[in-house]
Structure 1
Amino acid sequence: MVAPAQLPSLGVHSLQAYRLVNSKFPPIALFDDVADASEFDTLFQIQALTNPRLLNEAGRLELIPRQQIPFGIPGCSYATAPFTHVNPAGSRFSDGSFGVLYLGESLETALAEVRHHQDHYWSGVAGLGYDRFVFRGLTCTFNEADMLDAAVLPLSHPVHAADDYSQARLLGQATRAAGRNGLRYRSVRRPGDLCWALLTPKVVTSIVQSAHYEMIWNQGITSVNQISQA
């Protein structure tokens, strides 16, 4: 296993990267309606009394400390959602007990990563014929300060294994336990490109919607098309 101490730290750099989310999941307006944690807690408690669905929409708020939520930024809900709606099956750097905000250095990188995972998931659904999935493109500005650079490891390293996430998850857990903000790593689905795994949303300064894209399923993802402009 690679220990966090074996990886170089990244500096204070503001970067722009990209992400796709399924358009059936709307942004959680409550995160974007308040300026700080105290306002959020007050408004959440009031709205929860009259809107039981709010609990499901906001997700598991206990999974993220309030001080890590970047209230007041454009797209706060997009930045926060991966940490309150955690996939219990896990991901490359998480065993499913905590959330990660994944970003690609280009839109093409984000599309390649999501296409692979959608293909893998829907291939396991018996009897699925033709279908269409729509995704919302997001442009994210963030600071990679206090992140670790796993991109120094070659693509052949177990951390970058195509489908075996065991070593990557150990690194993700150790990096989070060390209080680091995330990891930069190599894109497995688009070799030559970079990705980021943000372990906290607090480093995000803006995350806004761009264009919409559709993925066509016909015994596999057969095409990816942009269907709206940014």
Structure 2
Amino acid sequence: MNFDNHKAYRLVNSKFPPIAIFDDAADQDDFESLFAIQSLSNPRLQNEVGNITLIPQSEIPYGIKGCSYATASFTHINKDGTRFSNADFGLLYLADTWDTAIEETKHHTQITLSNIQDLHFDVIVMRGLVAKFSGNLHDIRVNCQDELDKSPLYDLNDYSLPQAFGAKARGKHDGLLYTSVRNPLADCYALFSPKKVHEVIQSRHYEYVWDGSAVDVRQIKSV
């Protein structure tokens, strides 16, 4: 399915700040110059930028608003993998609404916090991002809850088949249009490259409040 300047939503942990060097660079040559200069005074720059070799420089959308947000998923890869990647490559995951973005991240946050022994309370501030992208996404959505429950691509815990599917689809499509399993029958998007992103703008913040058993989500109101 073709998308043109389509709006989507993403939530990221606020402890991970934007990578300024991506937003400051106008093109690849500019990035390389800035990186060489800043690395002299910032020994942590490599960790902030991530593994830049994981993405071709030609795919980085220099000059757009929020370039660092668009690129971060491809240079900082989840070592445990994600639904459509076994950690060999990055994906930019987006959602159709704030509610869907919340449900997707809330689930994974609860798993992470529940695995921390004796953690009875915590508050995580999540940064809400609004992205616009274009591209041809492979439509693998299902039409009903029964199909969702039966499809191995949407297994709640075993990602082995969707990861293999994602690896095969990469290079053939700009991304995947798929069904959310956390906010059933809502739409999600997985982009294989940040190149199709036009902008990513910070919009709002949420608090994810952990009480020892579950996460309660609260939007932080602007003053």
**SS of the residue aligned with 2:40?**
helix
Residues of 2 paired with 1:167 and 1:35: CA distance? 39
1:114 and 2:108 correspond: no
1:22 and 2:16 correspond: no
Given the superposition, is the C-alpha separation of residues 228 and 37 from structure 1 closer, same or farther in structure 2, using an over 3 Å criterion?
A: farther
Give the alignment partner of residue 81 of structure 2, picking from 79, 90, 95: 90
Question: For 1:18-167, what aligned pairs fall within 5 Å after superposition?
Answer: 18-143=9-134, 145-152=135-142, 154-155=147-148, 156-167=150-161
Kept in 2: contact 1:27–1:78 (CA 8 A): yes
Which sits farther off after the overlay, 22-31 or 159-168? 159-168
Query: Which amino acid counterpart does residue 2 of structure 2 have in structure 1?
Result: G
Give the alignment partner of residue 193 of structure 1, picking from 171, 175, 186: 186
Query: Which amino acid counterpart does residue 223 of structure 1 have in structure 2?
Result: D
CA shift for structure 1 position 46: 1.4
Question: For 1:194-213, what aligned pairs fall within 5 Å after superposition?
Answer: 194-213=187-206
**1:215 alignment counterpart:** 208
Task: Give CA deviations for 1:34-80 in whole Å, capped at 9, x if unaligned.
Answer: 11111111111111122111111100000000010000000000000
Residues of 2 paired with 1:30 and 1:198: CA distance? 22
**1:172 alignment counterpart:** 166
Query: Which amino acid counterpart does residue 197 of structure 2 have in structure 1?
Result: V
**SS of the residue aligned with 2:81?**
coil
Residues of 1 paired with 2:91 and 2:213: CA distance? 26
Kept in 2: contact 1:210–1:229 (CA 8 A): no
- Percent of aligned positions with the same letter in both sequences? 47
**SS of the residue aligned with 1:81?**
helix
**1:6 alignment counterpart:** none
Which sits farther off after the overlay, 152-161 or 201-210? 152-161
The runs of 5 or more residues in structure 1 that have no matched partner are 1-9
TM-score (norm 2): 0.94
Kept in 1: contact 2:9–2:95 (CA 8 A): yes
**SS of the residue aligned with 2:204?**
strand
Kept in 1: contact 2:18–2:68 (CA 8 A): yes
Which sits farther off after the overlay, 63-72 or 36-45? 36-45
The runs of 5 or more residues in structure 2 that have no matched partner are none
**SS of the residue aligned with 1:13?**
strand
Kept in 2: contact 1:115–1:221 (CA 8 A): no
CA shift for structure 1 position 22: 0.3
CA shift for structure 1 position 125: 1.4
Kept in 1: contact 2:3–2:133 (CA 8 A): no
Runs ≥4 residues deviating over 4 A: none
Kept in 1: contact 2:209–2:215 (CA 8 A): yes
CA shift for structure 1 position 14: 2.2
CA RMSD, 1 decimal? 1.4
Kept in 2: contact 1:215–1:224 (CA 8 A): yes
Residues of 2 paired with 1:12 and 1:165: CA distance? 26
Residues of 1 paired with 2:27 and 2:38: CA distance? 16
CA shift for structure 1 position 227: 0.9
CA shift for structure 1 position 181: 1.5
